[in-house]
Chain A
Amino acid sequence: MAEKLKFAFYWAASCGGCEVAVLDIDQKILDVIQVADIVFWPCAMDFKYKDVEAMEDKSIDVCFFNGAVRSSEQEHLAHLLRRKSKVMVAFGSCACFGGIPGLANLYTKEEIMRRQYIETPTTVNPEKTMPQTSYMAPEGELTIPEFYESVNSLGQVIDVDYYLPGCPPPPELVVAAVEAIAKGNLPAAPAIIAGNKTVCEECPRTKAEKIVKKFKRVHQVIPEDDVCLLEQGIVCCGPGTRSGCGAQCLQVNMPCRGCFGPPDHVTDQGAKLLSALTSIMDAEDPEKIMEITKSIADPAGTFYRFSMPVSLLEKKHFTKEASEKKDVAEVK
């Protein structure tokens, strides 16, 4: 038998669901073990970073990297694993597009730190202690990784060969990717391993004419089965999202949340969703349009739920004056 492949897994800024998704492939994991050895998987097995550093360059065949990049540790590992791996797979929406952690790009590092360590109701921190990247303890210097200003997708930090989107990637796609790796018939890199149409193409609901008088959120209405959710006024990200998931959410009466990112020929998922939603408004005059617009809560958070860091604008813009004003407010 030919030599086994070497796989590595790494977990950066993500919830950990992608690690579980690896096991979602059920007994197929045994087939994976047949063809591959796992040489690095901090979540499940005991490996140290120095073990990876000791490996020869390009000695890992495939690295599955999940999570966005927000700290110096994650960036270091991304570069390190890129150097040691032949093929780099961005596993899951966070690695592909920044994902849910990417929504933090609407806030500054200071705002996040203040909220996390001072403002939350469950926090007791009267001395307003904030994490420091290094601390001189009597026994020596202690360091923790630096928290960056903004969230990056993996592709913004290193070259990624394959993108496996999804939150988490569905088992069928994981199996298809692993089989393609084992048989050596991966498409030319870089490529997205998913469909190339939109979720609407896979959605089994019947679609007629879409005319919406008011947009609703999921908790405000019980949707009818089998009728397009947009037609029922529920904000659904299907028209601006890549296919490949089998429209699983739609089959259980939940609107698409956009985890597969922008489809082919679309640069900015949120901009396209904005166009799609506004095009079905039943309004011809500015007042009526305004009224319907008001019924869409948090457009940036909804349309860029998984793709903020790879969008055209990438993150919120903070003017100098605004940040200066904030500093003054803080002093007061």
Chain B
Amino acid sequence: MKNEFEPNIVAFCCTWCTYTGADLAGISRMIYPSNVKIIRTMCSGRVDPQFVMKAFREGADGVMICGCHPGDCHYQNGNVKAMRRYPLLVEMLGQFGIEEDRIMLEWVSASEGDKFAEICEVMTERVKKLGPLGMKRKGQDFRQALMHPAKKINEEVPVKA
């Protein structure tokens, strides 16, 4: 048991519905896997594809995007924007070798604490089955490199010509 793979899952939860739903799951003492790390966003529409990619780049094995049910968005149609991005994002991540099961888009309202616990369970099982992603990248990304260049100038020149 000790050696069982414990995935790192990042969940982007909209503050109005899913985050409150996750809160409810906590208050109601529901049991769900501790693999899910929640990041609160103002809206599921705020979840830039860059966030998802950055999560994978920094070692996530799975990413969940959760928001209000369609029609319930606090900002009227933010979740529709998330819904529009999702299929293309899944396709593109697939081209990068990230399986479809590592990403999830779900609607959880503020009263659905039980649903939140359930999808966390489902997602953790899904990612456990897939195993670790191991996509962690070394070094800075392009913008970081532009803003804070690492000192590479004095590095040894490789001998092999």
- Partner-B contacts on A (CB < 8 A): 49, 72-73, 75-76, 79-80, 82-83, 97, 106, 146, 153, 155-159, 163, 190-192, 261-262, 265-268, 270-272, 274-275, 277-279, 281, 283-284, 286, 289-290, 293, 296, 298-301, 303, 307, 310-319, 321-322
Among A97, A106, A266, A283, the residue within 8 A (CB) of B84 is A283
Please, which residues of chain B bring their CB within 8 A of the CB of A275?
Answer: 48-49, 85
Q: How far is the CA of A190 from the CA of B144 in the complex (A)?
A: 11
Check if A312 sits within 8 Å of B84, measured CB to CB: no
Q: How far is the CA of A271 from the CA of B92 in the complex (A)?
A: 9
Please, which residues of chain B bring their CB within 8 A of the CB of A158?
Answer: 152-153, 155
Check if A271 sits within 8 Å of B53, measured CB to CB: yes
For chain B, which range describes its interface: under 10, 10 to 19, 20 to 34, or 35 or more residues? 35 or more
Question: How many contacting A-B pairs (Cβ < 8 A)?
Answer: 144
State the 6 A-B residue pairs at the shortest beta-carbon distance, nearest first: A317-B97, A271-B49, A300-B95, A310-B142, A312-B53, A271-B50
Check if B145 sits within 8 Å of A312, measured CB to CB: no
Check if B92 sits within 8 Å of A274, measured CB to CB: yes
Task: Name which of B10-18, B22-30, B34-42, B130-138 contacts chain A.
Answer: B130-138
- Partner-A contacts on B (CB < 8 A): 48-50, 52-54, 56-57, 70, 77, 80-81, 83-89, 91-93, 95-98, 131, 133-135, 137, 139, 141-143, 145-146, 149-153, 155-158, 160-161
Beyond the given pairs A76-B157, A76-B160, A284-B80, 17 more chain A to chain B contacts, judged by CB atoms under 8 angstroms and listed by A's residue number, are: A75-B158, A79-B157, A153-B142, A155-B145, A158-B152, A159-B153, A267-B54, A267-B141, A268-B49, A275-B49, A278-B84, A284-B77, A289-B86, A312-B137, A313-B57, A314-B57, A321-B131
| Chain B residue at minimum C-beta to C-beta distance from A286 | B83
Q: How far is the CA of A293 from the CA of B88 in the complex (A)?
A: 6
Check if A274 sits within 8 Å of B49, measured CB to CB: yes
Q: How far is the CA of A159 from the CA of B148 in the complex (A)?
A: 11
Instruction: Name, among B50, B77, B95, the residue most crowded by chain A CB atoms within 10 Å (CB to CB).
Output: B50
Among B50, B88, B146, B153, the residue within 8 A (CB) of A272 is B50
Among B54, B95, B150, the residue within 8 A (CB) of A159 is B150
| Chain B residue at minimum C-beta to C-beta distance from A78 | B157
Please, which residues of chain B bring their CB within 8 A of the CB of A301?
Answer: 95
Please, which residues of chain A bring their CB within 8 A of the CB of B83?
Answer: 286, 289
Check if B146 sits within 8 Å of A190, measured CB to CB: yes
Among A82, A279, A322, the residue within 8 A (CB) of B153 is A82
Check if B50 sits within 8 Å of A268, measured CB to CB: yes
Min Cβ gap A26→B in Å is 31
